């Protein structure tokens, strides 16, 4: 049961703004990329085509400490911070060498689409919940 995953990446030019710094919106994409890798490590996909449930993001935040620039190599570590019956909360840290670049959190909720098309929070299926554990 994985509780964390580290993703190695390099900043691409299109991820930077006119000041040559990674645009803040990319940090959310980096965490999502790491999240999907964590799910694959658990033998799952977060969005299989045949699934009756989905996992929209209900909360996301970042605190920025230092900039990333084009061609910087960096690491995104994602950790399962909490699991409830209906949600998974992650903590994420982006680092370059020993420098902390950003710290963030992401919460996803398990939902099912009703006959009227509205999403309703439901319990995470055991075959998914049992594949993760809270990081120590």
Instruction: Tell me if 22 is assigned to some domain.
Output: yes
- Confidence bin at 49 (pLDDT 50/70/90): confident
Helices then strands, each counted (H, E), the chain: 2, 8
The answer to whether 106 and 35 are in contact (CB under 8 A) is: yes
The answer to whether 109 and 96 are in contact (CB under 8 A) is: no
Q: How many domains does one find in the chain?
A: 1
pTM of the model as a whole:
0.93
* Cα–Cα distance measured from residue 112 to residue 95, given in angstroms and rounded to the nearest whole number: 35
CATH number at residue 120: 3.10.129.10
Average pLDDT value for residue range 56-79: 97
| Residue 106, domain extent | 4-129
């Amino acid at each position: 049961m994985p509780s964390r995953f580290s993703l190695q990446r390099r900043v691409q030019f299109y991820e930077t703004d006119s000041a040559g710094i990674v645009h803040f919106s990319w940090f959310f994409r980096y965490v999502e990329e790491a999240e999907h890798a964590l799910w694959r490590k658990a033998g799952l996909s977060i969005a299989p085509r045949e699934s009756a449930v989905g996992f929209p993001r209900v909360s996301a935040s970042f605190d920025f400490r230092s900039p990333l620039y084009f061609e910087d190599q960096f690491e995104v570590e994602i950790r399962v911070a909490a699991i409830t019956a209906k949600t998974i909360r992650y903590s994420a840290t982006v680092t370059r060498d020993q420098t902390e670049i950003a710290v963030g959190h992401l919460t996803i909720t398990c939902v099912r689409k009703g006959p009227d098309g509205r999403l309703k929070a439901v319990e995470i299926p055991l075959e998914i919940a049992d594949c993760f554990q809270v990081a120590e």
